[in-house]
Chain A
């Protein structure tokens, strides 16, 4: 019987441990050091991952940081270290997340759990199909609007997209089940 944890799962467990550790550290210098180590260890992808992390955090962290700065200055208890702590921790955690995603295949992570693997495989395939469908809807709407659309038209369009996805998901579930049965997936 095979033993040990598969590499994807090892990476995931290491990642989860790193997240817990990062949330137990409250010194900006240590978090900065950890981020530095992660950047070095990430190899050639480091700057791309860092850029993605910064973009992912931009809106939320900027608003939180700005809000904290304004409130704290007004209350006369501004602590720069707090700002640094929040942002470094968030950046480290998000960076680790993107790094993990670049290193592992989700389906490898779920290997050994056939129901979850199957569910994930089907879901991912369908998500990609839905992304294409919604992109087509978006373009068709743009193409059909000589004037900026009214709120009610945008709402109707959103509703139509929801209906289309609902249709596809319900018919796909039935078809997939039939196809799986046809291929013996439900045979004992």
Chain B
């Protein structure tokens, strides 16, 4: 789902970095409030966990597989701030250690997947908790995939409006919303189902091991 480098205009990614910076400060402040000697190793392990979850192949209908995302799980177990910071860490490591990510797109990816995804997971879980644990966790994970996908589809889809040549030709991502919305959302419906299944399975495991309480 990550946006690679070269497809977002500076009119998009520079303000996104501004917004992300505010969000990072907010997250860091919140984490510092509970700072103890376990915090740094825990954040490091969470970053590694977020990275590792992204290596798990989700089985999807039709015999295909896709990479898991894992943000919902992180948010539900460790909270929005920790999930956001850990996911940012993953994006930074992917970009600067493995050369596998976009630096210009990092802020948008972090905000969409790490923050909106985490908020969606926690929000939906709370709202739907009366409907039962399995259902609310599954729906939370599904939302944590679809909402970021929607955001990314919108960000990509407005590039032809934001940045174009004198003759109207696009300078960055060339498709408008009428294409990006279905093109991004449809596959993510399947990914969301796979992610929901994975999150429920791991959540149940975490409950049985008492890593989380309901």
A residues engaging B (CB < 8 A)?
12, 15-16, 19-20, 22-24, 26, 52, 56-57, 60, 64, 67-68, 71-72, 79, 81-82, 85-86, 89-94, 97-98, 100-102, 104, 106, 109, 115, 118-124, 126-127, 129-131, 133-134, 151, 154-156, 158-163, 165-167, 169-170, 172-174, 176-177, 180-181, 186
CB distance from B63 to the nearest CB of A (A): 8
The CA-CA distance from A97 to B105 in the complex, in Å, is 13
CB-based contact A130/B55 at 8 Å: yes
| Interface flag for B158 (CB, 8 Å) | no
Pick the contact of A162: B56, B172, B179 (CB < 8 A).
B56
Residues of B contacting A67 in the complex (Cβ-Cβ under 8 angstroms): 175, 179, 183
B residues engaging A (CB < 8 A)?
4-10, 13, 37-38, 40-49, 51-53, 55-59, 61, 65, 68, 70, 73, 77, 89, 93, 95-104, 165, 167, 169-175, 179, 183, 194, 197-198, 200-202, 205-206, 209, 211
Given contacts A172-B41, A186-B37, contact A93 B102 (CB under 8 A): yes
CB-based contact B73/A162 at 8 Å: yes
Q: Which residue of A lies closest to B202 (CB)?
A: A162
Chain A contact residues: helix, strand, loop or mixed:
helix
The CA-CA distance from A92 to B6 in the complex, in Å, is 8
CB-based contact B169/A79 at 8 Å: yes
The CA-CA distance from A67 to B183 in the complex, in Å, is 11
CB distance from B95 to the nearest CB of A (A): 7
17 inter-chain pairs at a CB distance below 8 angstroms, sorted by A residue, are A16-B103, A23-B10, A64-B175, A82-B170, A93-B6, A94-B99, A97-B99, A123-B45, A126-B49, A127-B93, A130-B48, A160-B201, A165-B52, A165-B56, A172-B41, A174-B38, A180-B37
CB-based contact B70/A119 at 8 Å: no
The CA-CA distance from A52 to B100 in the complex, in Å, is 10
Given contacts A71-B179, A165-B52, A173-B38, contact A20 B5 (CB under 8 A): no
- For A16, A20, A85, A167, the residue with the greatest tally of chain B CB atoms inside 10 Å of its CB is A85
The CA-CA distance from A171 to B163 in the complex, in Å, is 49
- How many residue pairs link A and B with beta carbons under 8 A? The number is 213
In the A-B complex, list the 8 residue pairs whose CB atoms are closest, starting with the nearest: A159-B201, A90-B6, A122-B44, A154-B59, A126-B48, A130-B52, A93-B5, A162-B202
Q: Which residue of B lies closest to A79 (CB)?
A: B169
CB-based contact B97/A106 at 8 Å: yes
Residues of B contacting A19 in the complex (Cβ-Cβ under 8 angstroms): 5, 103-104
Residues of B contacting A155 in the complex (Cβ-Cβ under 8 angstroms): 59, 194, 197-198, 201
CB-based contact A158/B44 at 8 Å: no
Given contacts A151-B59, A158-B56, 8 further A-B contacts (CB under 8 A): A64-B7, A93-B6, A106-B93, A130-B49, A130-B55, A158-B201, A177-B38, A177-B41
CB distance from B42 to the nearest CB of A (A): 4
Residues of B contacting A52 in the complex (Cβ-Cβ under 8 angstroms): 99
CB-based contact B42/A173 at 8 Å: yes
Pick the contact of B55: A92, A122, A131 (CB < 8 A).
A131
Given contacts A97-B99, A100-B96, contact A122 B104 (CB under 8 A): no
CB-based contact B171/A26 at 8 Å: yes
The CA-CA distance from A121 to B44 in the complex, in Å, is 8
CB distance from B173 to the nearest CB of A (A): 7
- For B45, B51, B209, the residue with the greatest tally of chain A CB atoms inside 10 Å of its CB is B45
Pick the contact of B5: A97, A115, A172, A176 (CB < 8 A).
A97
CB-based contact B68/A101 at 8 Å: no
The CA-CA distance from A93 to B8 in the complex, in Å, is 12
